[in-house]
Amino acid sequence: MADAAAVAHDDHHYTSTGLNNWKLGFWTFIGSECLFFGTLISTYMAYKGASIVGPYPEKVFDIPLTSISTFVLLMSSLAMVLALDGVQKGSKKKALIWLGTVIVMGAIFLGFQYYEFTHFIHEYHLTLQTNVFGSTFYVLTGFHGAHVTIGVIWMITLFIRVLQGKMPPEKALQVEIAGLYWHFVDIVWIVIFVLIYLIP
């Protein structure tokens, strides 16, 4: 999580590379997260077709529906970029509008996921326990959803800080790091959507 005070301090601190510590550290953390999701996705792929009983992926996936939520999440990255621009330029109004948009879009994505999960459970009786597909699918997308949830909470925090007038352009790095996280979570979803939903 971005460290409000320390980030501000480090902004003017000497570093060997000229890169900010927090940014570099966060990139390293994202590298670690790549391995985390990489392992979850590989587990899903390795277990593809291993389920002994149904329901199977072809039956439950609703590609048009998930395409909509994917599109929403993808567009939220654009809103994130505009929100950062707003903070950097000291435009409170712009920052609030676009941070608000990110929050709403993230919430819409989570809403779709909630609908998808409950639909799968009630309509197809696909639970965590039903078969290997259920286990791998829910754990993978569930962990991604948890990441989105943390991101939304983070964005709400930033939104309140902007509202309070505590986010001057010098502290834009806080929003930039939150943005790195948001874009990363977005990219992971693109990989999941392609590998898990689109490839039959």
Partner 1 sequence: MSTESQTTTESFESFESIQRSQVPAESSSHHHEEPTGIWSWITTVDHKRIGIMYFMTSMFFLGIGGLEAMLIRIQLFRPDSDFISAELYNQLFTMHGTTMIFLVAMPLAVAFFNYIVPLQIGARDVAFPRLNALSYWIYLFGGLYLNASWFFGAAPNTSWVGYANLTSTEYSPGLNVDFWVLGLSILGVSSIMGGVNFITTIINLRAPGMKLMRMPLFTWMTFVTSFLLVTALPVIAVALILLAFDRFFATNFFVVASGGDTTMWQHLFWIFGHPEVYILVLPAFGVISDVIPAFSRKPLFGYAVVVYAGVLIGFIGWGVWSHHMFTTGLGPIADSFFVASTMIIAIPTGVKIFNWMATMWGGALKMNTAMTFAVSLVGMFVLGGLSGIMHSSAPVDLQQHDSYFVVAHFHYVIVGGLLLGMFSGLYYWFPKVTGRMPNEALGKLHFWLTFIGFNLTFFPMHFSGMYGMPRRTWTYRAELNVEIYNQLSTVGAFILAISTVVLLYNLWKSARTGEKASHNPWGAPSLEWSIPSPPHHYNFPALPQVRSREPLWHEDERKEIEAITLAEPEVEPEMPNPSFWPIVLAAGVTLTWALVMTGRWWAPVIGLVLTAIPVYCWAFEDPFAKKETAHG
What is d(CA 137, CA 54) in angstroms, rounded to the nearest whole number?
Answer: 13
- Counting residues that bind partner 1 (by CB under 8 A) gives 40
Beta-strand runs (E) in the chain: none
Nearer Cβ to partner 1, position 70 or 87?
Answer: 87
Residue whose C-alpha is closest to residue 184's, from 133, 150, 158: 150
Told to check if 19 binds partner 1 by CB under 8 A, we report yes
Told to check if 67 binds partner 1 by CB under 8 A, we report no
Q: Shortest gap between Cβ of 67 and partner 1 (angstroms)? A: 27
What is d(CA 83, CA 76) in angstroms, rounded to the nearest whole number?
Answer: 10
What is d(CA 134, CA 129) in angstroms, rounded to the nearest whole number?
Answer: 7
- C-beta separation of 23 from 84 below 8 A: no
Told to check if 29 binds partner 1 by CB under 8 A, we report yes
Interface pick for partner 1 out of 121, 139, 163, 195 (rule CB under 8 A):
139
CA torsion angle 98 102 105 110 (round to 10) = -160
Told to check if 64 binds partner 1 by CB under 8 A, we report no
- C-beta separation of 153 from 101 below 8 A: no
Q: Shortest gap between Cβ of 13 and partner 1 (angstroms)? A: 9
Nearer Cβ to partner 1, position 46 or 78?
Answer: 46
Nearer Cβ to partner 1, position 21 or 91?
Answer: 21
Told to check if 45 binds partner 1 by CB under 8 A, we report no
Interface pick for partner 1 out of 57, 134, 145, 179 (rule CB under 8 A):
134
Q: At what angle do helices 92-124 and 132-163 cross, to 10 degrees?
A: 160
Told to check if 56 binds partner 1 by CB under 8 A, we report no
Told to check if 199 binds partner 1 by CB under 8 A, we report no
- C-beta separation of 181 from 154 below 8 A: yes
Positions touching partner 1 (CB under 8 A) are 1-6, 9, 15-17, 19, 21, 24-25, 28-29, 31-33, 35-36, 39-40, 43, 46-47, 50-53, 128-129, 131-132, 134-136, 139, 143, 157
